[in-house]
Chains A and B, each alone.
Chain A
Amino acid sequence: MKTQSLTGNWEFRQADTADWSPATVPGGVHTDLLALGCIPDPFVGDNERRVAWVAEADWEYRSRFTADAELREQPRVWLVCDGLDTLATVSLNGRVLGLADNMFRRYRWEVKPLLAEDNELLIAFASPVQYVSEQQAQRPLPGVSQAIAGGPHLRKAPCQFGWDWGPQLPPVGIWKGLRLEGDDGAALSDVHLRQSHADGAVRLSAAVAVEQPAGEPLTARLRVIAPDGETWTVEAAASAAQPADLSLPIPQPQLWWPNGYGAQPLYRIVVSLWRGEVEVDRRDYQVGLRTVELRQEADQWGRSFQFVVNGVPIFAKGSNWIPADSFPTRISDDYLETLIRAAAETHHNMLRVWGGGFYEEERFYDLCDRYGILVWQDFIFSCSVYPLDEPTFLENVRAEVEENVRRLRHRASLALWCGNNEMEWGWVDWGWRAQPELDALKVAYDRFFHHTLPAWCAAADPDTAYWPSSPSSDTPFAAPNGQQQGDAHYWDVWHGRQPFTAYRNQYPRFMSEFGFQALPPLATIRTYADEADWNMTSYVMEQHQKNASGNSLMVGQMLDTFRLPQEFSSLVYLSMVLQAEGIRYGVEHWRRQRDRVAGTLYWQLNDCWPVASWSSVDYFGRWKALHYAARRFYAPLLLSIEDAPPRFGVYVTSDRRDSWEGLVRWSLETLDGTPLAGGEEPLRAAPLATTPVNSFDLAGYVTGDNRRELVFVAELWSPDGPLARQTAFFVPTKHLALVDPQLTATCSGDGGQLRVELCGRSLARLVELELDGADVVFSDNYFDLPAGRVATITCPLPAGWSVAQARMPCACARSTNPSSRIERRELIEKNGGGRFHDKRSIIFLHGRETNVFCS
């Protein structure tokens, strides 16, 4: 096969206007206009509204190109467009090749008769907003109130029309690659890789379908390259009449494991087609050897919902993934890896690719394979009623499903196909069923998600489980969000204004969504709001808060726990630690119920623009307090306190496959570190289980007078040192008798790392560290530091920095003495690695006025 990329030399213009301007392909109208300076940055201020016209207009893209001579000589030449977003009319040299109306599909047209030496390719895009508005006027379909109405009529990422965390900025343009492909009639048309496991042996197979010119002998070849380079090959005759079945055993198979359960060895697979000694076509894959099943068995609580990998039941620890940018073509490889790595570094082993976005590109699944992240893959239907009774719509979806299932089915990371997001719940609880005009669509929903789609999936990918909807009980329209069987979304904390303690009353079999909002870090807010707008309910801040009651919900819950913040930066900090505390509270509870609850995916990992949202990592990749908390609450060995003052239950939940021995130390002490009681318990943590350590009733130590001054501290120790620390209190933080902890910081440089040791004279609650002038990820942040303990925190030293220039403002939640003094201490650098030659003293500020947060 000969190919020629056509991503170069593009121009664009508003439809039928005079002037063409340079365009980037893959790309889109918004980013092209932005590059030309024709529109303001849509992510700043209220510019989203000012650029709404862009997606309401029609646009044209044009490329003039010279076709490679060798390619033109091929008997067949195709134009292949990997992704057109969305309503596109494609013309070559003035002749219309065809129409596209699904951004999730690849389109291919034969162009041999039209192709000349010099060519003009024109792709005209009709406005998606105009189209859905017209369709919606003719057939109103319930959807999401924050979105431009009518989105379900078009096969385009639903959230691009707006969501309760995303702007109404539907992109328009050529969003994936496009090229010419030429061949002589012999080509691979389908490759289905499968693996079978039995008693530790693994066999890899490929069913290879080909296109074959009449009578020509062809050979299909399967080559497997082990991680250490060892290679095995098998081949067989291939014909158009019947797919070639190639298979071979994998000697000493190295199994692929989810993150935290083992390594992720990947085998390279090459499937190729040969005419004699000439390779005419090939496809390359990476495959991890594993089995994944969704085990559902009757038990004392109903029916389990347990992912089992290589025979080991996995507690799914993860979050929900949304598109990483409103304009997806500017998501860089680096940024994508930053996000997936951020998930892996916080012990995620699962991401749910949520059904309101899009099927991700290959690079996303490549990263998930590499980092050991299982993927719960929704089909792209979300929170709406879709016209599934219209034959043309259904046929369009059929092509989309078949293509994407075939594309992704070999992935080690792929754990589940899920029909949609929250639509079954919608039919049961959101009032859709009270609208008789939707009756036919409910029937169509039932037929599609409970019969048609699972049949398509089973035909194309018999090895991956199918689940009809999230949440679902797998019994049509019966308690889709119940807790006996299936998965659940729990939103009564947040939308229902329930306190975080309500999480403890929930025992879902699998918690696939729950969440709480926070503002993004101040450095991110600075990118969209001027300081004059730094108030939570200012006009600009509310442009970047898409959940109508979001700010009220945040503040309401905040005041249950913390004191009213006095300044905006304090509010930002408190919103983040509040979110972290809330989600921690839920996850620790569900991980303690490991036999009953088989996973937690908090909503949501990431953002598509700078916004107040439920994310743990913001649009710029900055870790909010929740993401640091995830590193603690998703740790393979979780120490947790079930607090019911004056009783405290201490547990260790282990995701290890072997038992683990260590120690739990506990103490009841005053905030300034005076111990009232304490002890240590030897621990043998059972594998894949929760081990109760002890339950402490401390009623005898607590009086009405001292309860505001006490902290219960538990620590998990391995023979090598402390692994984890937890604190619990007798009163909410706002009532704690916190004082200035007088933190001291000792800093050193070590190779490319900064290292700081923090110690205080009184308990420092929810300590926040920053590195002035640089975005870094610390080894830990937003943690409690009881009196007298030392916290050693590291972070990478930014490129080109010396330790001497590092200033680390540090703040913590406080409840008293808001005007406490600022201490400066000069500390001598410990030049361990010899890299830092500047021997000047380094100044660390702790409690810089602007960063002293009052709670």
Chain B
Amino acid sequence: MSPSLTNRLLGYPDDARLLIINADDFGMCHAVNAAVMRALQEGIVRSTTLMTPCPWARHAMRFLAEHPEIPFGVHLTVIADWEDYRWGPIAPRGMVPTLINPQGDFYNFDQMQPFLAQADLTQLEMEFRAQIETVLSAGLRPTHLDWHCLRLQGWDNVYEVMLRLAREYGLALRAVVPSHITRVQSLGLPANDSGFLDSYLVDPTTKAAAYADLLRHLPAGLSEWAVHPGLDTPELLTIEPQGNHVRQTDFDFLISPQAREIVQAEGIILLDYRALRDVWAAVEVERVH
């Protein structure tokens, strides 16, 4: 295995095991917000990303404003997952017609591929930009960009829009798809290069053991886990009836003493995106000058 390029870019030894645990979907609903806040303050979560178009985004942003020490990113959102709990664009609907369904909301997840196939990239950029500006205009300073419910495999053009925005705003960008990781690294920028885990793919019935196992055997290099903490409140159970307790089981593990102990015992370095952001921003500056 070749040494991690990212470790070198971030100034860590080749054998350092770096892990970003990012709580996705901050702002989606109250049950998610409550869980994310606790996981950030009591658990092993070190980073979160904000869904600005969602109903509970203001609540999340107020928390971030009160806690400037907590690093967070912008969870670029153009998909609305749930049947009866909807959201839509921040940009005026008339300016982003290819992003919305006839009801004026974002498309559902199961329509993701046809949506991307017909989405106008200019409109997509406009909406992404609106979401970033919403955060900036609230006086918040994000570290990075990632995205909500998009399978970007095969959609390099969409990733390129995000990459352009990340570089323009001096933010880091999540990389998941192998060729996107290569693309980011070819620019001399750090990216997760040792595995990306989406917690929705982990079986909730055996999750704690699986997470513990993954932590114990975390490879050298930078890994990222996109976790989805939430509380099984009536609100969440109603929004996400088929959720299969993904969010509650994520939350349970992330704040468990076991998780903390394993991280400590294994010498895993928990990172957030600030270290990456600094390199992304610096490389940009060098190019300008």
Contact = CB atoms under 8 A, between A and B. Distances in A.
B118 interface: yes
A168 B179 CA distance: 10
A57 B195 contact: no
Contact of A52 (B182, B210, B219): B182
A53 B159 CA distance: 11
Interface string B161-180: 00000000000000011110
B214 A138 contact: yes
B118 A18 contact: yes
A56 B155 CA distance: 9
A764 interface: no
B113 A17 contact: yes
A145 B210 contact: no
B196 A137 contact: yes
Interface in B87-123: 111-114, 117-118
B178 A138 contact: no
B151 interface: yes
B272 to A, nearest CB: 19
Contact of B114 (A16, A136, A437): A16
B202 A17 contact: no
Contacts of A17: 113-114, 117
A783 B217 CA distance: 54
Contacts of A138: 197, 201-202, 210, 214
Given A53-B153, A56-B154, A145 B196 contact: no
B198 interface: yes
B235 interface: no
B191 to A, nearest CB: 13
A242 interface: no
Contacts of A129: 153, 177-178
A127 interface: yes
Interface residues of B, number: 31
B209 interface: no
A52 B128 CA distance: 25
B2 interface: yes
Contact of A18 (B117, B197, B198, B201): B117
Given A58-B113, A129-B153, A52 B178 contact: yes
Interface string A104-138: 00000000000000000000000101100110111
B113 A15 contact: yes
Contacts of A435: 217
A796 to B, nearest CB: 44
A127 B153 contact: yes
A18 B116 CA distance: 11
Nearest to B218: A140
A148 interface: yes
A138 B176 CA distance: 14
Contacts of A15: 113
A476 B234 CA distance: 56
B155 to A, nearest CB: 7
Contacts of B214: 138, 140
Interface string A564-607: 00000000000000000000000000000000000000000000
B256 to A, nearest CB: 19
Nearest to B112: A16
Interface residues of A, number: 28
B154 A53 contact: yes
A137 B114 CA distance: 27
Contacts of B213: 437
B156 interface: yes
Contact of B195 (A14, A49, A140): A140
Nearest to A438: B217
A511 interface: no
A149 B219 CA distance: 13
A421 B131 CA distance: 51
Nearest to A53: B156
A385 interface: no
B265 interface: no
A548 interface: yes
B2 A137 contact: no
Interface in B211-256: 213-214, 216-217, 219, 223
B185 to A, nearest CB: 11
B153 A148 contact: no
Nearest to A168: B178
B111 to A, nearest CB: 8
B179 to A, nearest CB: 3
A389 to B, nearest CB: 13
B187 interface: no
A54 interface: yes
B179 A58 contact: no
Contact of A56 (B114, B177, B216): B177
Contacts of A14: 113, 117, 154
Contacts of B112: 16
A145 B219 CA distance: 14
Nearest to A52: B179
Contact of B153 (A130, A137, A437, A548): A130
B201 A134 contact: yes
B1 interface: yes
A382 B154 CA distance: 28
Contact of A136 (B182, B195, B216): B195
Contacts of B155: 53, 57
Nearest to A143: B1
B217 A58 contact: no
B198 A57 contact: no
A437 B217 contact: yes
B258 to A, nearest CB: 17
A39 B179 CA distance: 16
Interface in A28-59: 49, 52-54, 56-58
Nearest to B181: A133
B221 to A, nearest CB: 11
Question: Which residue of B112, B151, B154, B156 has the most chain A CB atoms within 10 A of its CB atom?
Answer: B154
B1 A16 contact: no
B274 to A, nearest CB: 23
Given A15-B113, A18-B118, A437-B216, A56 B153 contact: yes
A543 to B, nearest CB: 12
Contact of A130 (B151, B182, B197, B216): B151
B198 A53 contact: no
Nearest to A142: B1
Contact of A145 (B1, B118, B154, B201): B1
Nearest to B200: A134
Question: Which residue of A15, A54, A133, A137 has the most chain B CB atoms within 10 A of its CB atom?
Answer: A137
B178 A56 contact: yes
Contacts of B111: 16
Question: Which residue of A18, A52, A58, A149 has the most chain B CB atoms within 10 A of its CB atom?
Answer: A52
Contacts of B179: 49, 52-53, 56
Question: Which residue of B113, B156, B198, B219 has the most chain A CB atoms within 10 A of its CB atom?
Answer: B113
A16 B113 contact: yes
A820 B213 CA distance: 69
Nearest to B202: A138
Given A136-B195, A140-B219, A145 B2 contact: yes
A814 B219 CA distance: 51
Given A14-B154, A52-B179, A53-B179, A133 B196 contact: yes
Contacts of B178: 52, 56, 129, 133, 148-149, 168
Interface of A: 14-18, 49, 52-54, 56-58, 127, 129-130, 133-134, 136-138, 140, 145, 148-149, 168, 435, 437, 548
Given A58-B154, A129-B178, 7 more contacts: A18-B117, A58-B153, A130-B177, A137-B198, A137-B223, A138-B214, A168-B178
The 9 closest A-B CB pairs, nearest first, are: A57-B154, A16-B113, A52-B179, A17-B117, A56-B153, A137-B197, A437-B217, A16-B114, A137-B195
6 contacts: A15-B113, A56-B177, A58-B151, A127-B154, A134-B201, A437-B216
Interface of B: 1-2, 111-114, 117-118, 151, 153-156, 176-179, 182, 195-198, 201-202, 210, 213-214, 216-217, 219, 223
